[in-house]
């Protein structure tokens, strides 16, 4: 069953953001073009992995192209986005699978987020969608970004992930305001 395709060619804005307090945050990818806003929920680890892999992809393309590269080494200051997510936030779907590619012809990055239901169907033997293909199941968000906008997205996404609960200095697990049961402390309360 074909799902709904949400496609953005050079959106006005594409960001990762959260709603809620650390420890209870819901993470979103949000694409905006004019009055059209699409919000897709996903896990914190997916946001972190997407941002890290995006930076790696941009660095690799920059390395391959050398002096002729259109990839900025860092986020251009004029592209930094620190504004909150657009409201109201209406979740279109929850992402299960993320994909990332460099389009050499247009010198742009393609980011796709496919619904969790489609990922479940793929695990059950249904063909997985191909990046930038026309056949897919479930819902799909496809965003095409210029290199500077992609750097800006990655920088903000990593900042959003890091803004959560601080890690325990002993075990690395997230600390709640009242501490946590630390495995390195044999089940006793860890540092606050």
User: Which sequence spans correspond to the domains of the chain?
Assistant: 2-166
Fold of 2-166: Secreted effector protein pipB2 fold (3.30.2450)
Structure confidence at residue 125 (pLDDT): 45
Tens-binned pLDDT, residue by residue, of the chain (192 aa): 578 999 999 999 999 999 998 888 999 999 999 999 999 999 999 999 999 999 999 999 999 998 888 898 888 889 999 999 999 999 999 999 999 999 999 999 999 999 987 555 555 443 444 444 456 678 999 999 999 999 999 999 999 999 887 777 877 777 776 767 787 777 655 555
The 3-class SS string of 119-182 reads HHHHHCCCCCCCCCCCCCCEEEEEEEECHHHHHHHHHHHHHHHHCCCCECCCCCCECECCECEC
Structure confidence at residue 129 (pLDDT): 42
Structure confidence at residue 190 (pLDDT): 54
Residue-by-residue DSSP string for 71-117 = --SS--GGG---PPPPSS--EEEEEEEEEEEEETTTTEEEEEEEEHH
Structure confidence at residue 74 (pLDDT): 87
Instruction: Collect all residues with Cβ–Cβ distance below 8 Å to 15 and sequence separation of at least 6.
Output: 29, 30, 81, 85, 153, 156, 157
Q: Is the pTM of this model over 0.85?
A: no
């Amino acid at each position: 069953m074909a799902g709904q395709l949400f496609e953005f060619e050079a959106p006005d804005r594409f960001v990762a953001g959260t709603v809620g307090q650390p420890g209870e945050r819901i993470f979103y990818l949000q694409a905006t073009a004019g009055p059209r806003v699409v919000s897709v929920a996903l896990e914190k680890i997916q946001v972190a992995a997407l941002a890290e892999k995006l930076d790696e992809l941009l660095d690799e393309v920059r390395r391959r192209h050398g002096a002729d590269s259109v990839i900025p080494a860092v986020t251009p200051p004029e592209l930094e986005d620190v504004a909150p997510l657009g409201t109201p936030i209406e979740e279109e779907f929850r992402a299960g699978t993320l994909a990332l590619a460099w389009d050499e012809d247009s010198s742009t990055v393609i980011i796709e987020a496919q619904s969790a239901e489609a990922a479940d169907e793929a695990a059950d033997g249904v063909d997985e969608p191909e990046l930038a293909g026309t056949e897919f199941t479930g819902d799909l968000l496809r965003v095409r970004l210029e290199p500077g906008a992609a750097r800006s997205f990655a920088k903000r996404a990593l900042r959003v992930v890091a803004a959560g609960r601080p890690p325990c200095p002993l075990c690395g697990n997230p600390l709640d305001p009242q501490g946590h049961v630390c495995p390195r402390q044999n089940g006793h309360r860890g540092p606050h």
